[in-house]
Amino acid sequence: MCTVLLDGPGVRARHERVFKRTRWSARQDSLRWRAALQFFCHPERGRGIPCNYLEVMPRDSSTPLRFARNDISAVLLAGGESRRMGRDKAEILFRGKPLWEIQLELLRKLEPTEIFVSARSDPVWRPVDVQFVADNPPSRGPISGLAATLAQMRSKHLLALAVDMPFMTEKYLNVLCSQIEPGRGVIAKNNDRFEPLAAIYPHEALTNFRSALTAMDFSLQALARGLVAEGRLNVTLVIPQERELFVNMNEPVDLTAL
């Protein structure tokens, strides 16, 4: 059971300072308060709460409900060589739309601060409102693209999404958004493997990405384990019903099997 202290001079004074500083309107944000209280008392019910519903109060030493504003950038990872597929996966049609369009529409629904496309060269299909980030040469796959984007973004967290993961949903990405903290992102773990291409990284992870590139260790699994061990990533376990979300398109047979 969650207990909330409603009165008391110490608590009341502390709350008054918070309200005066932020000029926060309880009436205007009553829905966000209810969502935040539900998530605080029952974290397991937090699935599906939109990112911006956890903005109700600043993270502060005097704030008992410690919900941070989700200041997030997003990057579409489209820098793979597509050797097994035989053609650029970003332009493959899935249910009548190219994969790049499906994934960008999904990211836009989250209303991030900015959206990037990470690739080896600037793709012809990139919309004008999406920024291009070139992989740091020589390209070492997703690690290069993530390192370059972390260095360029203006926000505190970076949501990464692979272009070839068309079953991912807005609802699940919102679940990930609800689990980030200052200086700490979140990554899903599917059985014994992490899912680093649909994860949220804090800006502080940039040092880890650069160290991996310097050490010539390009394993995203090893990098994810290190970030978790250092407390820079929370871990959320993938339940059986969610495993389809992480299916990606690597070979032509993957398209015919749908």
Q: What is the pLDDT along the chain (258 residues), one digit of tens a residue?
A: 454 444 444 443 333 333 333 444 444 455 454 555 454 444 444 444 444 444 433 434 333 333 344 489 999 999 755 555 546 788 899 989 999 999 999 999 999 999 999 998 999 999 999 999 997 666 688 999 999 999 999 999 999 999 999 999 999 999 999 999 999 999 999 999 999 999 999 999 999 999 999 888 889 999 999 999 999 999 999 999 999 999 987 655 555 555
Cα(177)–Cα(180) distance, integer angstroms: 6
Which token pair is 66? 């410690």
Amino acid letter for position 233: L
How many angstroms separate the CA atoms of 152 and 50, rounded?
25
Cα 41–201–156 angle (5° rounding)? 80
The pLDDT score that the predictor gives to residue 24 is 43
Domains in the chain, CATH or no CATH each: 16-64 (no CATH), 72-256 (3.90.550.10)
Q: List the one residue out of 131, 198, 123 whose CA is nearest residue 158.
A: 198
Residue pair 163/103 in contact (Cβ under 8 Å)? The answer is yes
**Which residues, other chains included, contact 229 with Cβ-Cβ below 8 Å and sequence gap of 6+?**
none
Question: In 3-state terms, what secondary structure has residue 124?
Answer: coil
**Residue-by-residue DSSP string for 201-233:** EEGGGHHHHHHHHHTT---HHHHHHHHHHTTSE
The SS3 assignment for 258 reads coil
Quote the strand ranges of the chain, DSSP E.
72-77, 93-94, 97-98, 115-119, 131-134, 157-162, 185-190, 193-202, 233-237
Amino acid 250: pLDDT: 64
Closest CA to 41 of 24, 65, 68, 69: 65
Confidence (pLDDT) at 8: 46
- Both tokens of 75, joined, read 């990057």
